[in-house]
Amino acid sequence: MASIRRPHSPAKQHLLRHHHPFASSSPPSSPLRHSSSSSSPRTHHHLGAGGYPHPFLFFSRRPLPRFAAFFLLGSFLGLLHFLSHLPQTPHLRPASPNSVLPTTTLPHRRFDQQQQLPDQQHDGGKEKLLIVVTPTRARAAQAYYLSRMGQTLRLVDPPVLWVVVEAGKPTPEAAAALRRTAVMHRYVGCCDKLNASSDSVDFRPHQMNAALELVENHRLDGIVYFADEEGVYSLNLFQRLRQIRRFGTWPVPVISENTKDGFVLEGPVCEQVQVVGWHTSEDGSKLRRFHLHMSGFAFNSTMLWDPRLRSHLAWNSIRHSDMVKEGFHGTTFVEQLVEDESQMEGVPADCSQIMNWHMPFGSENLAYPKGWRVETNLDVIIPLK
């Protein structure tokens, strides 16, 4: 079936060419051009002043330029919104000689950084991990001692891991006291099969062995220090611990009501960092190989699993023995770590500072020495030969 297509009139063909996006700007002249353009209102729909197309006609007809324009506009608005939420930091200006800075503008941590030791060395800018082991037992003053010890460790520069070992099963009261200190800790129990509820038996060797087993199993790389919860410690002690490379020791006064001065000084006598003798005042203690206290030494945790760093006496795991007499736990344990004084480091140099005090087990009623000063019993009783 044949189809008949009617051609458009000359005026309509001119309108189609004029509004087509690809139409030529100078169409061929037509006798009906002026009359048709002036008579038809559709031809002035997109024309501006002077007969030129409207400037927004370019964006309404081309999708790609329109997308680019709105994309740039949205990016600009988003950047303005981001910049408006940045924290406003004041510009630093040189202070005049007469100006005084208020103390509230200085951060608290800045004072600790200024008090850092000048000879303190850090490996790669990282602090050494301090592993503080504290044996504890359930009693009326347990929460008090744990809170006091926790507040001390809270002031120490991180990283610090506080390993608290309970003589028996962990208690909710001790766990709550540890959480309130906001110190990274690990609370475990031991001695369940040894009737740990008895107050007359000292389970601290078993508790410290449980902490050593935890450190050895997890290969924790740091400095291990045994800190009783009854003791008194200075922040300088924990700063000095990070200087220890292998094994470090220092003098410790032990509060005692059986002595004239009220305390007994135990620990090394040093020339610089070399141990040359020992402080002691008990005749029975002369039988000990090393005259140091349990809270008067610290060691690198790698000695627990690296046989090359330990003494020849430690053929197996390094642990505390519960078969030794009272007062010999420290020297028996240290004999597994070092062979003689040449493998020890005096902390600090010359061992001339008292950095912590030790309170005996169950010493809630003992009197403190006046002024916390050590002025007597400073002679070397047992020098090294």
Token reading at 347: 């902390």
Rounded (5°) CA angle 304-222-303: 20
Contact in structure between 328 and 255 (CB atoms under 8 Å): no
Contact in structure between 179 and 162 (CB atoms under 8 Å): no
The three-class DSSP label of residue 141 is coil
Residue 334 phi/psi, 5° resolution? Answer: -70, -30
- The pLDDT assigned to 166 comes to 94
- The pLDDT assigned to 90 comes to 41
**Residues in Cβ contact with 162 at an 8 Å cutoff, skipping those fewer than 6 apart:** 132, 134, 150, 153, 178, 183, 184, 185, 186
CA distances from 175 to 134, 145, 207, 295, 362 (A): 14, 13, 17, 24, 21
- The pLDDT assigned to 283 comes to 58
- The pLDDT assigned to 203 comes to 85
- The pLDDT assigned to 140 comes to 86
- The pLDDT assigned to 282 comes to 62
- The pLDDT assigned to 30 comes to 47
Per-residue pLDDT of the chain (385 residues; tens, 9 = 90+): 455 555 555 555 555 555 554 444 444 444 444 444 444 444 445 555 555 555 555 556 677 877 888 888 888 888 888 777 665 544 434 444 444 434 333 333 333 333 344 344 444 568 899 999 999 998 888 999 999 999 999 999 999 999 999 999 999 999 999 999 999 999 999 987 666 555 557 788 999 999 999 999 999 999 999 999 999 999 999 999 999 999 999 999 988 777 677 788 889 999 999 999 998 866 556 678 899 999 999 999 999 988 788 776 666 788 888 888 877 888 999 999 999 999 999 999 889 899 999 887 655 555 555 565 666 555 555 666 6
Q: pTM, whole model, 2 decimals?
A: 0.64
Closest CA to 149 of 109, 178, 188: 178
Other beta carbons within 10 angstroms of residue 57's beta carbon come to: 14
**Residues in Cβ contact with 173 at an 8 Å cutoff, skipping those fewer than 6 apart:** 138, 142, 143
Token reading at 374: 């050590």
HSE-up of residue 169 (Cα within 13 Å, Cβ side): 3
- Separation CA 237–CA 231 (nearest Å): 13
Token reading at 138: 């359930």
- The pLDDT assigned to 63 comes to 79
- The pLDDT assigned to 312 comes to 67
The three-class DSSP label of residue 155 is coil
**Residues in Cβ contact with 103 at an 8 Å cutoff, skipping those fewer than 6 apart:** none
CA distances from 265 to 256, 377, 381 (A): 10, 7, 11
**Residues in Cβ contact with 221 at an 8 Å cutoff, skipping those fewer than 6 apart:** 129, 301, 302
Other beta carbons within 10 angstroms of residue 91's beta carbon come to: 4
Residue at token pair 């060797």: 205
